[in-house]
Amino acid sequence: MNGNRTRFLVNRPIGLIHEAWPAAFYRPRPGMLMGQARPGYGERPAFDDMEEAVFIRYLMPKSFWKLLKWLQIGEEKKLKEAWEIFDRFLYQSISAAREKLISRSKSPVEEEEEFTFLSAFLADQGGQTDYTSENSNKILRDHAFSLVAAGRDTVSACLNWFFWFVATNPSIETKILEEIKEKLQEKGKLRFFSTEELNSLVYLHATLCETLRLYPPVPNNHKTALEADVLPSGHQVPQNTWMLISFYSMGRMHEIWGQDCLEFKPERWMWITKQGGIIHVPSYKFTAFNAGPRSCVGKDMSFIQMKIIAVALISNYRLQLVEGHPVTPKNSIVLHMNYGLKVKVTKRFG
Ligand code: HEM
């Protein structure tokens, strides 16, 4: 399974904005305008270029990337091209959703409404029915971009690392399977799950948290001091200081997680009682979803998505790592695997 395919699996159930969503982020095929294939690993999504370019901005002095931008070379050139692809797709999706709403308001039909964030945003524009207004396009495009940037690759990156841990830890896979069997499967074949049912999957939840601790999809964050300040540690922070916070490193510090911080132990998240249950860990310690006023608003939703996908895949298929496939993190603002996760997939039944 490579990273792109996991994204496909993730995006389909969510039906995020548009049916053609996953395909639309890929550059045109090689030989066309901006084709750029990596042998064996598929085409590069435009969105990957954006994430890598933003990561480079973290590393370079501002004057340097500004110069690249001005000269339109390197990562900044790729960023501009990626924006063009992205905008083209988003504006097309907005027009299509707008037309759908207009035709529906002219001749309402009794059909089951297909929910997408985009149609919900459009329908919510001040409760107005003027869907023809083009003024709101830019706002809609920015909303859609925020949702994609925040919710798409974060979930798929986390799932890749999660499936890697499951494929390399048979005892963890067995425990997840036992829990699914105990809590979900007695009612028959796999089907839609209620939130309560998904909440009852404590071991699966703990395994996802442990994955997020060691491989936080957003590995870095930064803050700038608007005014001179003093941190609780006593460190002086002059005005306009740019501080980089590594969530990745924080997840691997003994001072925070104890001597076994480098071990993958879902149990550290669970009460060791008969009932089980997830231990509350403050967000300033478990920072994968950020802490404070700008914390992730999609945290609960992402656990639901990840659990649905984990249950559907693990209960039906066995994933075995392809020998020799390199598993390394990528330099990007989202902690992807450099070459995706390559696994052999075998059906559990039949
Ligand atoms: C495993 C999955 C996810 C992780 C690890 C994650 C992590 C984060 C982090 C670290 C931030 C803070 C970013 C910053 O301030 O620089 C954030 C913000 C945000 N996330 Fe998530 N996220 C995930 C999934 C989602 C999903 C599924 C959605 C919605 C569909 C979402 C929506 C948002 C939004 C809207 C913000 C901005 C909140 C604000 O600034 O007020 N996230 N997320």
Q: Which two tokens stand for residue 148?
A: 């994609």
Q: Is the pLDDT of residue 21 over 70?
A: no
> Which atom of ligand 1 is found nearest the CA of 217?
5
Q: Where are the domains of the chain?
A: 17-151, 155-350
> Of 7-16, 63-72, 92-101, 159-168, which one has max mean pLDDT?
159-168
Residue 9 CB–ligand 1 contact under 6 Å: no
Q: pLDDT digits over 209-261, tens only?
A: 999 999 999 999 988 999 999 998 899 999 999 888 999 999 999 999 999 99
Q: What is the Å distance from ligand 1's center to 300 Cα?
A: 11
What is the best residue among 21, 154, 208 to mutate for testing ligand 1's pocket, by most ligand atoms within 8 Å of CB? 154
Query: 310 versus 124: which is more confidently predicted?
Result: 310
Would you give the DSSP letter of residue 108? -
Residue 16 CB–ligand 1 contact under 6 Å: no
Q: pLDDT digits over 136-166, tens only?
A: 777 778 877 787 778 888 999 999 999 999 9
DSSP, residue by residue, 230-294:
E-TTS-EE-TT-EEEEEHHHHTT-HHHH-TTTTS--GGGGB--SSS--BPP--TTTS-TT--STT
* Pair 264, 169: CB distance under 8 Å: yes
Rounded CA separation 164/169 (Å): 9
Q: Is the pLDDT of residue 180 over 80?
A: yes
Q: What is the Å distance from ligand 1's center to 193 Cα?
A: 24
Identify residue 336 by its one-letter amino acid code. Answer: H
Q: Is the pLDDT of residue 203 over 80?
A: yes
Average pLDDT score over the chain: 80
Superfamily of domain 155-350: Cytochrome P450 (1.10.630.10)
